[in-house]
Structure 1
């Protein structure tokens, strides 16, 4: 049976913040992730695959629930007493759940960092890169801009304080150069993360000394960020950098669906965005001649 010429039906999201991708959007998403992987390739950061779930107790040690309790998506299991009701056709929304002690990732780096707990990465530091499916509870959802589940590519550095500065400089250069190649105009600004407790210590520290800067397109959508963790994860997870003591860390992050949104906004349609992406010349981006200080 020949189905190659039959037009595909429009794929609709099965719920709020949930989207199914048709072949054009899928090709756009994969193509953008390949382009964004260029930073990892330039830095020789090996590609990893983080865990699909994160231990809740590990995140608690990183103050995740103190700062972002509203964003977490817990993984539950149906209670044994609910199984007969489910087998009898009762809707799963009406039966009890039990916690598993795990939470779906809300950022790619958490799984990588937790996997390094208690290790010494050595004096030379290390780089890791990964794309992960991330999940967040949001107050509202908006197409590709704000999803319940999305893909985040990150390039993470662990090592020295100076190494973090260099890593973020390289990341900032790559973001600017990649956007230019794609015909996107970005603005950079200190991030205003959605802390649950605006009066909490980390929220106040962020206001005094921003550790995250975002790159946004014309409609205000942040599509990339550079993040300075100081030695927070190194101390909390006992990750050491040889003779340098607790490891400092930093990451460069890309919201892949948001890059797709930016391309569609800039070029008018997913089809036109995919053509523009495929027309991007091969090879590494040409960096600007000056660097932006953190």
Structure 2
């Protein structure tokens, strides 16, 4: 069983790590099947970039800003005093936040680009969310997310996400995970007003939800939002984008729910495809 060193912060045991690695290998295979090339995304995101992507309008409660300590605070902590200092003069902002999703950094890396051919990239990142509660491996403060991002044409996004949906459903079926494919309520780039109304009529995020209500993966159609905000063009217009996202620890949870222990789960995952 995983050990929790703090609410939402876990250490996986060796057998669970083997399952984690095997699942992550399948996710990367799916990304490669979708034509994605691997990259390593950033561990920090500039606040000003997140602001122009409406992050703080849509999800201010999830943000985890990064700060350094003032000289006074460092001195107090170094002396091991019983009461740590608190208040606005204890921290110095760095202007960065921890990422809540892997795709933000990948999209920022394409800012200002004029694409002549689609970009399809994949990365796994450690993500962080300041949730109102944490629940085992289902909802963590710190977790891993594998994404496969497509940036290019409107039609290319549709094809990317259609194929991604088929591959996720195939993997879930192979592992005996019963999932519902349903619209999500948290498209992270829409905000309010006309965009929110448009999403009600034409959902842009669909989740793969297991029997106990855990969203283990999602496909997200960004329309041309990021192309417009980040100055990414494809041909003569703002680029369209979409991504497939896997929550790795959530898949570990879902597979263990079905198979009971890591060894049986790993055996099921390693069974040859007929």
- Scaled by the length of structure 2, the TM-score of the pair is 0.93
The residue aligned with 1:184 is 177
Indicate how the Cα distance of structure 1 residues 157 and 30 shifts in structure 2: closer, same or farther if over 3 A, else same: same
Indicate how the Cα distance of structure 1 residues 192 and 82 shifts in structure 2: closer, same or farther if over 3 A, else same: same
The residue aligned with 1:98 is 92
Structure 2 residue 203 is matched with structure 1 residue 210: yes
* Equivalent residue for 1:272, pick from 235, 258, 264: 264
Deviations 1:53-94 (A, max 9, x none): 000100000000000000111111111222211221136853
CA contact (8 A) 1:153 1:256 kept: yes
Indicate how the Cα distance of structure 1 residues 267 and 65 shifts in structure 2: closer, same or farther if over 3 A, else same: same
Compute the displacement of 1:194 (Å). Answer: 8.2
Give the number of equivalent residue pairs: 270
Indicate how the Cα distance of structure 1 residues 216 and 82 shifts in structure 2: closer, same or farther if over 3 A, else same: same
Tell me, in whole angstroms, the C-alpha distance in 1 between the residues paired with 2:238 and 2:197. Answer: 24
Deviates more, 1:59-68 or 1:208-217: 208-217
Structure 2 residue 154 is matched with structure 1 residue 161: yes
Compute the displacement of 1:44 (Å). Answer: 2.6
Tell me, in whole angstroms, the C-alpha distance in 1 between the residues paired with 2:60 and 2:83. Answer: 24
Compute the displacement of 1:46 (Å). Answer: 0.6
CA contact (8 A) 1:133 1:152 kept: yes
Q: For structure 2, which runs of at least 5 residues remain unmatched after alignment? A: none
Indicate how the Cα distance of structure 1 residues 200 and 14 shifts in structure 2: closer, same or farther if over 3 A, else same: farther
Deviations 1:257-289 (A, max 9, x none): 11111100011122321222222x15xxx9xxx
Q: Classify the secondary structure of the residue corresponding to 1:100.
A: strand
CA contact (8 A) 1:150 1:257 kept: yes
Indicate how the Cα distance of structure 1 residues 209 and 238 shifts in structure 2: closer, same or farther if over 3 A, else same: same
The residue aligned with 2:39 is 48
Compute the displacement of 1:238 (Å). Answer: 0.2
Which 4+ residue blocks in structure 1 deviate beyond 6 angstroms? none
CA contact (8 A) 1:72 1:103 kept: yes
Question: Which structure shows the bigger proportion of residues in strand conformation?
Answer: 2
Tell me, in whole angstroms, the C-alpha distance in 2 between the residues paired with 1:135 and 1:219. Answer: 23
Deviates more, 1:208-217 or 1:148-157: 208-217
* Equivalent residue for 2:30, pick from 39, 43, 54: 39
* Equivalent residue for 1:118, pick from 112, 117, 121: 112
Compute the displacement of 1:208 (Å). Answer: 3.0
Q: Classify the secondary structure of the residue corresponding to 2:226.
A: helix
CA contact (8 A) 1:160 1:244 kept: no
The residue aligned with 1:247 is 239
Deviates more, 1:80-89 or 1:29-38: 80-89
User: RMSD of the alignment, in Å?
Assistant: 2.0
